[in-house]
Structure 1
Amino acid sequence: MHHACGIDFGTSNSTAAHYTAAGPRLLALEDGKVTLPSAVFFNLDEDSLAFGRVALAEYLEGYEGRLMRAMKSLLGSSLIDQGTEVAGRQLSFKSLIGCFIGEVKRRAESGAGHSFDAVVLGRPVRFVDDNDEADRLAERTLAEIARELGFAEVSFQFEPIAAAHAYEEDITREELTLVVDIGGGTSDFSLVRLSPQRRGLADRSSDLLASSGVHVGGTDLDKRLSLTAIMPELGLGALLANGAVFPSTVFFQLATWHTINFAYAKKGWRTLQELAPDVTDSVRFNRLLNVIRQQSAHHLAMRVEDAKIALSAAETVAMPLPEIDDALQLTLQRGAFEAAIADELAAVVRAADAALLQAGVRPDEIDTLFFTGGASAVPALRATLAARFPSARTVEGDAYGSVGSGLAVVARQRYG
């Protein structure tokens, strides 16, 4: 017998859960809340380390330091062997991920009142698209991190399958369910046959009909919105004196959560200084320099994320941008946002279709669409998938807790 838990290490938020006599229980990780934003802040002023909401708050309060978010996106990429400089020393991204997951483990154990020596970690169906070796490397890296943190038993479950286990705890009849898990970094689908009679069985392999996924999630939608609306205000698309387009690398770095810190590197700053004599739009170029000098791109990324969320409820959103210019305020339209993410929407639908193709199931045979994941709230994603499966009823899962709860169910089945 083990003390086992499930940990959902997410791109944007993380959870931990264990199984109790009353069923799966999400553990409070920060101020009574069961979610911990996947953020680490190295506070150089206080010589301290902060996690979650405290990390974001200290960064926004203006403390000198280094903020890391969306670290999960580094798994399986060539960047995992690199790192970031903090107070003159280089920290590897692998150790940063370990630092964060270790904090999740510590807080979960505090909430449970005992230690955990076994864990089921959630994983996307695909960490990396179209590269099986990189995908396996991502899982191996995460397993190594967990073992180094003291877990004697480490295993994985696809995140949408974990969400299906959580949903199955409450159903009253058999359902053919397509689990739609659209998180911060990936969109994952599992086609599963669920029933109250089979929920306690350890071997559910015959009930899992198909799984598919694509490396497109909420942070990709943020990135697209940033590139469309924000980065042009810093010079994206501007021409140099010789007619060439200003290099776009820095704008993509600033628009992508896990690469923002690269834009602050000395090498990039030197490149911008070399380009300065050829700049034709000095206003936007000086804005770009100021954002990098002040290291305020994380503020911009948070504004973009907030705007994306607001556009789920409103057709029009006003977004002030004091980090760029005190007088600058943009008006964002939901329609323009949906047009900007058209390619991402198409990729998500293709991934859903791939699951049905694997199983040989028609769209009209799906009984239930079970939505989970924070980015599943984007109306365009909902409408596109609902139109693809017109006969299915829509069920709302816990956007941030379904996967973690399901991992606890799996942990109970595997480890007792």
Structure 2
Amino acid sequence: MTDPVLAIDFGTSNTAVAVLEGGRPRLLPIEGGAATLPTAVFLPAGGGAMRIGAAAAEALIAGEDGRYMRALKSVLGTALFHEPRLIGRQRRTLADIVTAFLAGLKSRAEAAAGRRFDRVLSGRPVHFHTAAPDRDAAAEADLRACYLAAGFAQVEFALEPEAAALASPAPRRPGGLGLIVDIGGGTSDFSVFRTGGDGVRILGSHGIRLGGTDFDHAVSMAHAMPLLGLGGQLRRSLGDGLLPVPQAIYVDLSTWAMIPFLYTAETQRAVADLQRHALDPVPMRRLARVIGDHLGHDLAFAVERGKIAANSGLRGAGIDMGMVEPGLSVPVTPGSLNAALQPQRAPLEGALRETLFRAAVAPAEIDTVVLVGGSSLMALVESEARAVCPQARIERSEVFTAVADGLALATAPGAGLGAGLR
């Protein structure tokens, strides 16, 4: 690729862009003076311009009437991505919305850099969808089409953990091996690399569909959703006995990408039916309030804050559900957090070991583990990395911008990321 090239790390939760200047990456300020932009949009109910980033969250917090959306990257490669829906007085697809987000991002980057960008090198996870090659290919095709529709003339992709390897500190031993552990909002990606006189050499990469939004989902299901009726019982319409409350609404309410699609008449009818049959009507009244007043994202942000606080070991950490009912809250302790996230440990460990297998490297050979991505700050990530590579030093790169830095470095002539650059 020839200059000018815009490097974009389009993330599930946050997005960053960079350019290569004088052989070094330069992050562009795309959110005020900040180098990262929340990957979120707000579409006003009465029409008008779509808001992106912090402005989207501000509109949600202010209680403006409209549709807030986050984690759109997780829907790439699915039928839902191309399904037209009436949003903000217009029939749109999620593809239209992602395209508008990328067009806004392009405009901000050009204003910050003072030049036009027609070419983009975009990061992508090793796998958008685990063990689903057709959906994985469809997801990349979806994202490529959105970039082209947003005004870019040439689009190339590089694997995100391989890009992060380019921007990572070299292993402490000359010729030593490093392991990138990149835990983002929607995926976990890994690369084994060696740094030498000829630069960074990627020995193997792997990835799974597991990330921070999955952690949020697990915490919400274990802590917040029981206060809305999950785990309760229903009286039968006919006959004796009780039935368990179905989980489907709670699963979607705990999933960032699915929350906007719960605000329908069909969901309200289903919740009303649950209220009529609930053995304990109080939690169901709370659920009706969340759906009726469109409080799903407010609750999701509260869950995310509670997760972060408990992960940091803060005393009194919890999920403030006062937006649902005054004074309503649920504690999140390090122990309850660990219990909620326990099922995530096995796939994470398995992915780490699979990466080493693909690189034909033994765990003892890894000199340095480099943690990248906002969700790598979760304690279980470091503990699993230490368990798999106990002799390695643990380092943290620029967790939110390492991929963008590496993508910018990858635009240099001859930088190439092997199979990752295509």
So what's the TM-score if we normalise by structure 1?
Answer: 0.94
| SS in structure 1 at match of 2:371 | strand
- The equivalent position to 1:225 in structure 2, one of 192, 212, 219, is 219
Give unmatched runs, 5+ long, in structure 1: none
Higher alpha-carbon deviation: 295-304 or 307-316: 307-316
Deviation for aligned residue 1:169: 8.2
| SS in structure 2 at match of 1:244 | strand
| Equivalent in the alignment of 1:297 | 296
The one-character-per-residue Cα deviations of 1:169-203 (angstroms, maximum 9, x if unpaired) are 898943311100001001100111122x223xxxx
| Equivalent in the alignment of 1:264 | 263
Report the residue type matching 2:64 in the other structure: Y
| SS in structure 2 at match of 1:167 | coil
Deviation for aligned residue 1:46: 7.8
The one-character-per-residue Cα deviations of 1:70-121 (angstroms, maximum 9, x if unpaired) are 0000012232122543234321011111111111111111111101111111
Report the residue type matching 2:328 in the other structure: L
In 1: Cα distance, 2:17 partner to 2:257 partner: 23
Deviation for aligned residue 1:44: 3.3
| Equivalent in the alignment of 2:182 | 181
Cα 1:222–1:46, aligned 2, differ >3 Å: closer, same or farther? same
The one-character-per-residue Cα deviations of 1:342-382 (angstroms, maximum 9, x if unpaired) are 11121111111101111221101001101110000011221
Deviation for aligned residue 1:318: 3.2
| SS in structure 1 at match of 2:157 | strand
In 1: Cα distance, 2:413 partner to 2:276 partner: 65
| SS in structure 2 at match of 1:236 | coil
Q: Does residue 107 of structure 1 match 2:108? A: yes
* Residues 5-44 of structure 1 aligned to structure 2 (within 5 Å): 5-21=6-22, 23-44=24-45
In 2: Cα distance, 1:347 partner to 1:216 partner: 8
| Equivalent in the alignment of 2:407 | 407
Q: Does residue 374 of structure 1 match 2:402? A: no
Cα 1:225–1:123, aligned 2, differ >3 Å: closer, same or farther? same
In 1: Cα distance, 2:171 partner to 2:120 partner: 24
Report the residue type matching 1:342 in the other structure: Q
Q: Note if contact 1:192-1:209 (Cα within 8 Å) is conserved in structure 2.
A: yes
Q: Does residue 216 of structure 1 match 2:210? A: yes
| SS in structure 2 at match of 1:16 | strand
Q: Does residue 358 of structure 1 match 2:358? A: yes
The one-character-per-residue Cα deviations of 1:294-345 (angstroms, maximum 9, x if unpaired) are 1011000001111111122115413321122102122111111111111112
Report the residue type matching 2:343 in the other structure: D
| Equivalent in the alignment of 1:384 | 384
In 1: Cα distance, 2:43 partner to 2:414 partner: 37
Deviation for aligned residue 1:410: 1.1
In 2: Cα distance, 1:83 partner to 1:364 partner: 51
Percentage of identical aligned residues: 35
Deviation for aligned residue 1:45: 5.9
Give unmatched runs, 5+ long, in structure 2: 237-241, 417-422
| Equivalent in the alignment of 2:420 | none
| SS in structure 2 at match of 1:280 | coil
Q: Note if contact 2:99-2:146 (Cα within 8 Å) is conserved in structure 1.
A: yes
In 2: Cα distance, 1:108 partner to 1:397 partner: 23
| SS in structure 2 at match of 1:356 | helix
Q: Note if contact 2:305-2:319 (Cα within 8 Å) is conserved in structure 1.
A: no
Q: Note if contact 1:125-1:211 (Cα within 8 Å) is conserved in structure 2.
A: yes
| SS in structure 1 at match of 2:376 | helix
The one-character-per-residue Cα deviations of 1:222-258 (angstroms, maximum 9, x if unpaired) are 0000000000100011111021112211111110000
Give the root-mean-square deviation of aligned CA atoms.
1.9
In 2: Cα distance, 1:413 partner to 1:189 partner: 25
Q: Does residue 281 of structure 1 match 2:275? A: no
| Equivalent in the alignment of 1:68 | 69
In 1: Cα distance, 2:33 partner to 2:88 partner: 32
| SS in structure 2 at match of 1:314 | coil
Q: Note if contact 1:39-1:68 (Cα within 8 Å) is conserved in structure 2.
A: yes
| SS in structure 1 at match of 2:191 | strand
Q: Note if contact 1:75-1:141 (Cα within 8 Å) is conserved in structure 2.
A: yes
| Equivalent in the alignment of 2:234 | 240
Q: Does residue 194 of structure 1 match 2:195? A: yes
Cα 1:210–1:381, aligned 2, differ >3 Å: closer, same or farther? same
| SS in structure 1 at match of 2:270 | helix
Q: Note if contact 2:275-2:285 (Cα within 8 Å) is conserved in structure 1.
A: no
Report the residue type matching 1:320 in the other structure: D
Report the residue type matching 2:409 in the other structure: V
Q: Note if contact 1:118-1:415 (Cα within 8 Å) is conserved in structure 2.
A: no
In 2: Cα distance, 1:148 partner to 1:328 partner: 45
| SS in structure 1 at match of 2:181 | strand
Deviation for aligned residue 1:137: 0.5
Q: Note if contact 1:214-1:351 (Cα within 8 Å) is conserved in structure 2.
A: yes
Report the residue type matching 1:371 in the other structure: L
Report the residue type matching 2:134 in the other structure: E
Higher alpha-carbon deviation: 295-304 or 378-387: 378-387
Higher relative contact order (CA 8 A, sep 6+): 1
| Equivalent in the alignment of 2:150 | 149
In 1: Cα distance, 2:353 partner to 2:35 partner: 33
Aligned residue pairs total 409
In 2: Cα distance, 1:399 partner to 1:272 partner: 40
Q: Note if contact 1:2-1:117 (Cα within 8 Å) is conserved in structure 2.
A: no
